[in-house]
Homo-oligomer: A and B are copies of this chain.
Amino acid sequence: MDVEIAARQLEALGNVTRLEVYRALVRAGPDGLAVGQLQARFGIAGSTLSHHLKRLLERGLISQERQATSLICRANYKAMDGLIGFLADECCADGAGATRGSPRVRSLASAP
């Protein structure tokens, strides 16, 4: 995973509203949630929500699918897994119990 991509995804999740939206989508599972449902749940302006969803979408963290007039949003688990992998492997070296276990870590930890 490229550091720039990781940073952009982290930035997308680094806003309370977006993080809560994203979490709601993850918890919703494969069925996802429609934009309107999210809007009702969080009580923010539709335009604001649309703006945040666009951000999550263009960073690859969610996907969308039209279903009649509604737009269903779903979390992209693969992206999250990749991001967690980046943090665990590239960043969480020999410190506290980060147990993702790519052996790459140790060699990097002793690099210049």
Q: Which of A4, A77, A94, A111 has the most CB of B within 10 A?
A: A77
| Other-chain contact of A13, B7, B84, B97, B110 (Cβ < 8 Å) | B7
Residue with the highest number of chain B CB atoms closer than 10 Å, among A9, A78, A87, A92 = A87
Question: B88 touching A26 by the CB < 8 A rule?
Answer: no
A residues whose Cβ falls under 8 Å from a Cβ of B: 3-4, 6-16, 18-20, 22-23, 26-27, 29, 75, 77-78, 80-81, 83-84, 87-88, 90-98, 108-111
Which chain B residues lie closer than 8 Å to A78 at the CB level?
95-96
Q: Which residue of B lies closest to A95 (CB)?
A: B77
The reply to whether B84 and A80 form a contact with Cβ atoms under 8 Å apart is no
